[in-house]
Structure 1
Amino acid sequence: MQKAWLYEEYGPKEVLQLGVIPLPTLQHNQLLVQVRAAALNPIDFKRRQRPIFPTEFPVVPGCDMAGIVVGKGGGVSKFEIGDEVYCNIQDFNGKLKQLGTLAEYVAVEESLVALKPTNLSFEEATSLPLAVQTAIEGFETGNFKERQSIFIVGGAGGVGTLVVQLAKHFYGASEVVATTSTPKVDFVKSLGADTVIDYTKQKYEEVPEKFDFLYDTIGDCKNSFVVAKDEAPIIDITWPPSHSRAVYSSLTVCGENLEKLRPYIESGKLKAVIDPNSPYPFTDVIEAFRYLETGRARGKVVISPFPSSILPSYVPCEDNIPPEIVVAQKTSVY
């Protein structure tokens, strides 16, 4: 058995409860990972609040995690026991897993996993997968081209901080302009934005130039579209898009796109951004969601440390061949 946060009905953050659930059953090509840190995303509370995805209860929320491989199902070839890894475990093109990352151990397909960059802590690594995969998908959906100018709505959020950095250091934008509120202007500039617009002081209509690419991370296309050139792609990562020209950017989840970013992360060109209030300990998940749901986070809200129960020497596995398992030696901190 293992500790996990779960809910058994839709509702506000108060439906969450800390409970005990069975260890996951490893399937073919899956890893068992001891979670060392997890990150929260808006999709976690939106899924909890209403039935936007087919759901069976109970649900353990969470998409992002970083941790240590402690078990391998049959067919696993890329990873070894003891590897430090990170990933988004939820493939949004299929049925979402009931067992998310707010648990001591998770089972995840090895195709979704990447080795943790050596210069990142578990807390920093877990802040990246879903947000950076979302950010990349928007650039690919809009067919962004090198030397194009880009206007980013919401440059200080979990996705926006990465869109700014990717535009500057990965996709080769000629000009990066982003919006944020007054206290975060210098922060967004530090990420690589050439110009930062304080949306509390300047309206979209007052921006003097038009841009080759509009990337809206907060769903304000009904207003922000005015900064885009007539034929410019307009990307909206929220659903439904708020303007007829906007194209919704979905999500492709795989470990390969994380591996492509590894040189940029380890060289320091792409930085993980964790909200200053993080990390929240495992026992404070409800408070972490309360803060995330205010919409004021700067970067990602992270949960760490996790409890570390001793892993039994046998974990259920659907393969005929018993999985390779290592016994975790850390005792629980709770």
Structure 2
Amino acid sequence: MKAWVYREYGGVEVLQLESDLPVPEITDDQVLIKVVAASLNPVDFKRRLGLFKATDSPLPIVPGFDVAGVVVRVGSGVRNLKEGDEVYGDIIEKAFENPKQIGSLAEYTAAEEKLLALKPNNLDFVEAASLPLALETAYEGLERAGFSEGKSILVLGGAGGVGSLVIQLAKHVFGASRIAATASTLKLELVKSLGADLAIDYTKKNFEDLDTKFDLVYDAVGERDRATKALKEGGSVVVIDPKDFTFVLTSSGEFLRKVDSYLKSGKVKAVLDPKGPFPFDKVKDAFSYLETNRAIGKVVIYPIP
């Protein structure tokens, strides 16, 4: 099969497109997926840079956490999936503890049944591939913080992959009373369209100077020290820090099933960067773009041959 591989840690230059990798074998609890689309996450390039090589699987590595595709083979212990099912998920259960060697930037990948969910019929493969890791991170962060109906939230980085979903989940799933979000000038309308009551242009205004304080600050950009200044007394902060691994989710198809009805109703939508999707042979370009930290929503690779 064709796959993107790196055999040493480093920048985008270590990525190589290879065409003769063996198709992965599956264990009893896994399915083999014909990959249709995959998305990139910051954790992908942190891993490639070697930031958690002490607990990484051995090189060479096929990168990619998020996948959307079609089940083509089923392990003997799989109960709820069958050949032909269209599925999506984050196929690496624990990002920093011996993650899979073969990720989703390949024609085929193997994943445990428990990490996958059926793709909602109203989503195409590109939309589905964009969601799992960011959606699970957004959901789990809100859940762990005890966010609930009637509470207010400030989202730092509201136009990013995680932040764009935090806004939607806070509004439609958790019942936020008020949502504010930071974004650059060109992205203010986007965060309003996702459900923010107040869009703050971080190039012109410091969010911590607002008169309003919040029950929760969901920090998707790594501004922990400033974030605490925007809290009400007794409030809490969730930090997804690009330079740190403060909050590490465990992947599970259960989170995707929890929001299935919101995805099907269109209340929670995929947010895709307008530069994408990037074709399979342009994965290096896609990574270079993601690493500028200017992407809107998610960067997706499609089609995968």
Shorter-chain TM-score: what band?
A: over 0.9
Partner of 1:16: 15
Partner of 1:153: 156
Q: Is the 8 A contact 1:137 1:249 kept in 2?
A: no
SS for the counterpart of 1:45 is helix
Q: Is the 8 A contact 2:278 2:302 kept in 1?
A: yes
Partner of 2:5: 6
Is 1:226 equivalent to 2:225 in the alignment? no
Distance 1:50 1:66 in 2: 26
Q: Deviations over 1:76-107 (max 9, x none)?
A: 11011101000000111642001000000001
Distance 1:250 1:233 in 2: 17
Is 1:70 equivalent to 2:72 in the alignment? yes
Partner of 2:82: 80
Distance 2:176 2:250 in 1: 22
Equivalent position to 2:200, from 197, 205, 216: 197
Alignment of 1:14-163 (within 5 A): 14-19=13-18, 20-53=20-53, 54-55=55-56, 56-92=58-94, 94-163=97-166
Give 1:237 deviation, angstroms.
1.6
Give 1:144 deviation, angstroms.
0.9
SS for the counterpart of 2:259 is helix
Distance 2:90 2:44 in 1: 12
Distance 2:255 2:226 in 1: 32
| Larger Rg over CA atoms | 1
Amino acid at match of 1:35: V
Amino acid at match of 2:279: P
SS for the counterpart of 1:212 is strand
Distance 2:227 2:147 in 1: 18
Distance 2:187 2:150 in 1: 26
Mean CA deviation greater in 167-176 or 141-150: 141-150
Q: Is the 8 A contact 1:10 1:51 kept in 2?
A: no
Q: Deviations over 1:195-251 (max 9, x none)?
A: 10000110123211111111101111112221111210111022776xxxxx94320
Structure 2: gaps (5+ residues): none
Amino acid at match of 1:25: E
Amino acid at match of 1:89: I
Amino acid at match of 1:132: L
Is 1:301 equivalent to 2:302 in the alignment? no
Amino acid at match of 1:41: N
Q: Is the 8 A contact 1:7 1:60 kept in 2?
A: yes
Distance 1:238 1:98 in 2: 24
Distance 1:239 1:272 in 2: 21
Amino acid at match of 1:48: R
SS for the counterpart of 2:241 is coil
SS for the counterpart of 1:96 is coil
SS for the counterpart of 1:21 is coil
Amino acid at match of 2:123: L
Partner of 1:291: 289
Q: Is the 8 A contact 1:66 1:87 kept in 2?
A: yes
Amino acid at match of 1:84: E
Amino acid at match of 1:264: Y
Mean CA deviation greater in 203-212 or 153-162: 203-212
Q: Is the 8 A contact 1:240 1:248 kept in 2?
A: no
Amino acid at match of 2:5: L
Normalising by structure 1, we get a TM-score of 0.88
SS for the counterpart of 2:255 is helix
Structure 1: gaps (5+ residues): 242-246, 308-334
Give 1:30 deviation, angstroms.
0.5
Paired residues, number: 301
Give 1:148 deviation, angstroms.
0.3
Amino acid at match of 2:162: V
Q: Is the 8 A contact 2:42 2:242 kept in 1?
A: no
Give 1:289 deviation, angstroms.
0.3
Distance 1:258 1:61, change over 3 A: same
Partner of 1:314: none
Q: Is the 8 A contact 2:273 2:299 kept in 1?
A: yes
Sequence identity (%): 52
Amino acid at match of 1:258: L
Distance 1:27 1:250 in 2: 26
Partner of 1:249: 247
